[in-house]
Amino acid sequence: MPEAAASAALPAWTVVPFVALLGAIAVLPLVRRTAHWWESNGSKFLVSASCGIVALASIALLHGPTAAGTAFGHAMAEFVPFIVLLFSLFAISGGILVTGDLRGTPRINASILMFGALVANVLGTTGASMLLIRPILRANQGRRHRAHVVVFFIFMVSNTGGLLLPIGDPPLFLGYLRGVPFGWTLGLWGEWLAVNLLVLGAFYAVDRTLARREGIAPEHTEEMTEPPVPTVRVSGAENLVWLAGVIGAAAFLVPGRTLGATGVVIPNGAREAVMVACAGMSLWRTPKAIRAQNRFNFVPIVEVAALFSGLFVAMQPALELLTARGAELGLRTPAQFFWATGLLSSFLDNAPTYLVFADVARTVTPDGFVGGVPYSGHPVDPALLAAVSCGAVLMGANTYIGNGPNLMVAAIAREEGVPMPTFFGYMLWSGAVLLPIFALVTVVCW
């Protein structure tokens, strides 16, 4: 059965399993009878896998087992590189211990967030998040109000910071795999700078206000009571080599491409094998004491794998419907692509949503367009692809499930005793802080 025909024929009710999974993620932690049960990653996987199976069953019912198998193959083709990249960055970054005399003052916190937004483009939002979340939690352990620090950390380090390079965020990585030049996203530096400075300014205002409410004297909220240059110590620096290995594999070991001038065609799985090998070397060689001080464990990445494995499968009908009918949405301008991509990225996961709307942008780009960005063998209007890229990356911060690191950071914070907002509570923060900023950026940039 041709994929386009299958996609066009899928009825709207086939997205019910995906909607049910989103509802479970949002509601089950709030219900007294299910809250404790939901804490188990096994429970999360049971619900996630069940919704994925029902989604596949609906495709099989409508179009036969072959179509269901094809949908499952598409889901795994995206999920496996996604989770391998996240796992590798998570495991390696967990072997780097950052300590020092940092105190959780507004200016120090803001400095960490901005530094994280910068390095997210090199380490990936996952790597930067895992590297810096524990140091910023330690710096703020004496503060009464800490949840907002983690929320803004998710905004910037886990999402908006990673807009400049494909390694920065999974959507851009998938775009790179489809042919977008590696350095093309550097041209989004204006949007990156505007959003991150505005979010940082909002954070500083909130953090300074809460610091004063805690009864901290004004002089204790400024750097005058801190060492002129806070001492920072890094242990496990060898892991930077393994991080470089993962980044190099993501950038250069693209399946099907020729490796330099060697003429060797890179086989499927080579990139993931190198990433796993780098993670394995990190786990083997890093002293256990470093990971113990980092309180490193695999619970956060297992939680992401448990939820996103089912999400990637259950969202297949929704993605197929968007692919088949995306042109019918009437999207034409960059602003429309930015908001459509962004709002759906908040709930559908931003990586596959990017692919859908990049495909739609390709279909509305006129034939023979001059100066287009190569994508899947066809030129795409750079203004439209920029809007899709920004929407997917920036609005992945709108919910806990918008991007893989979001859930991991929240899980680590909860383990450290931080009372993190619920699914809906987090959305109140993102709605109040991020949406007005995104609206302003829309007016200025598009």
Domain extent at residue 205 = 3-445
Rounded average pLDDT over 211-225: 59
pLDDT confidence of 216, banded at 50, 70, 90?
low
Do residues 313 and 52 touch, judged by C-beta distance below 8 A?
yes
Q: Cα separation of 192 and 164, whole Å?
A: 7
Q: Cα separation of 155 and 161, whole Å?
A: 8
pLDDT confidence of 4, banded at 50, 70, 90?
very low
| pLDDT (tens digit per residue) in 50-94 | 999 999 999 999 888 999 999 999 889 888 988 898 899 889 988
| pLDDT (tens digit per residue) in 24-35 | 888 888 888 888
- Domain total in the chain: 1
Write the DSSP symbol of residue 442. H
Q: Is the pLDDT of residue 5 over 50?
A: no
Q: Cα separation of 7 and 359, whole Å?
A: 14
| pLDDT (tens digit per residue) in 324-333 | 776 677 888 9
297-328 b/e (C-beta count within 10 Å ≥ 16 → b): eeebbbbbbbbbbbbbbbbbbbbbbbbbebee
pLDDT confidence of 124, banded at 50, 70, 90?
confident
The predicted model scores a pTM of: 0.81
The predicted structure's pLDDT at residue 147: 95
Q: Is the pLDDT of residue 219 over 50?
A: no
Distances (CA, A) of 397 to 22, 160, 357, 434, 445: 16, 7, 18, 8, 20
In degrees rounded to 5, what are phi and psi of residue 375?
-150, 120
The mean predicted confidence, pLDDT, of the chain is: 86
| pLDDT (tens digit per residue) in 230-278 | 677 888 889 989 988 988 887 788 788 777 777 788 888 999 999 999 9
Rounded average pLDDT over 153-164: 96
Q: Which of 195-204, 244-253, 290-299, 400-409 has the largest mean confidence?
A: 195-204
Q: Cα separation of 287 and 279, whole Å?
A: 14
* Token pair recorded at residue 248: 């190099």
pLDDT confidence of 1, banded at 50, 70, 90?
very low
Q: Which of 6-20, 125-139, 289-303, 410-424 has the lowest mean pLDDT?
A: 6-20
The predicted structure's pLDDT at residue 185: 95
Q: Is the pLDDT of residue 7 over 50?
A: no
Kindly report the number of other CB atoms within 10 A of residue 220's CB atom: 15
Write the DSSP symbol of residue 380. E
Any bridge partners for residue 323, and if so which?
none
